Amino acid sequence: MIPSLTGLLPQEITDKLSLDINFRGKQIFKWIANGAETFDDMTNLSKELRSHLNKTSKVYSTRIKQTLVDPDGTIKLQIELFDNRCIETVLLTDADGRKTACVSCQAGCAMGCAFCQTGMIGFGRNLEAGEIVEQFFHLEKKAGKLDNIVFMGMGEPMLNLAAIKKTIDILCSKEGRNLSKRRITLSTSGIISGIYDLADNGPFLRLAVSLTVANEDLRKQLMPVTNTNKLQDLKNAIKYYTEKTGIRCTLEAVLIHDINTNDKAAKEFINFAKGIDVHFNLISWNRVPTLPFREPTKQEINYLMGKLEKAGISVTLRTKRGRTIGGACGQLGRSYAASDNT
């Protein structure tokens, strides 16, 4: 495989390409951050150098295989990797026009959450940093400059943390894209060791934990990660992270009809939130045809929100986006539209 360069920092590019001038590595790094996909785009490099690099290396290792656009403006890209595996990445635009890249960190997912399409695929492999970086840049080419990035697509970020950290180094480098760390969110199903790693070693990011239910036995059924990451231990890790970093943690709850919207579930959520600085983000379950769940009713959602607010807990309801193209939370891994709209 000819090496691609999107997963490298300037000095690494210099070393990988055996460039005799360090400044060339910085130039190439900057070009990539500005959207260059080929060496021919890098017009301040000599023709001789561009010709040589075209023969010995390449900028990107992935390509867009399919582009789907939801009526609400959400964009989903199916991206083909060098080994012919495919992943999906999504662009979300909020009511204020802010654009967020929801990127994948693994091909498939090993977590097996019962309510998630991606969990049905199983685990393929971890993505390299360059394969994650390229998702962000592919989306920028489609939609212009992005405001935020969330590691919330296919896969569990904490199980590919080294590549996540490298991706952040690349995107936040002042010599390149210069994205602020304050615009980055990492979402985890609750891998406790990863939370402590970020708290102790950085980078300090916005942390979102997929809680869904705060009942140990029920959570084991819905989210097998609970078998090795107990709820009380998870709460302790969240408390440690928020106190160490000063960053409030978001607890995400996928609301499912007759499962986690009743009075018992509300009391368990409230009890879990006691003593930690958290915000609840409620997400109506997005339909996956092959799964035996139902979306919550408006009454269920309003009841749970009211209970949490009455307990003094900060809570929001996530707007439904990207559902018609299989781009909403829990739907990644299967394209719902028949045509290729690239």
Q: Which of 102, 109, 116, 329 is catalytic?
A: 329
Q: What's the sign of the alpha-carbon dihedral 112, 116, 119, 121?
A: positive
Residue 88: active-site member? yes
Please tell me whether the peptide bond between 10 and the residue prior to it is cis, using omega within 30 degrees of 0: no
For residue 121, CA distances in Å to 113, 114, 331 come to 11, 12, 11
Q: Which of 12, 88, 156, 216 is catalytic?
A: 88
Are the C-beta atoms of 147 and 99 separated by less than 8 Å? Answer: yes
Whole-number CA gyration radius for the chain: 21
Strand residue runs (E) in the chain: 63-69, 75-80, 86-93, 99-103, 106-108, 123-126, 148-151, 184-188, 206-210, 249-255, 278-284, 314-317
Residue 329: active-site member? yes
Q: Please state, as a whole number, how many other Cβ atoms lie within 10 Å of the Cβ of residue 324.
A: 15
Active-site residues: which are they?
Answer: 88, 329
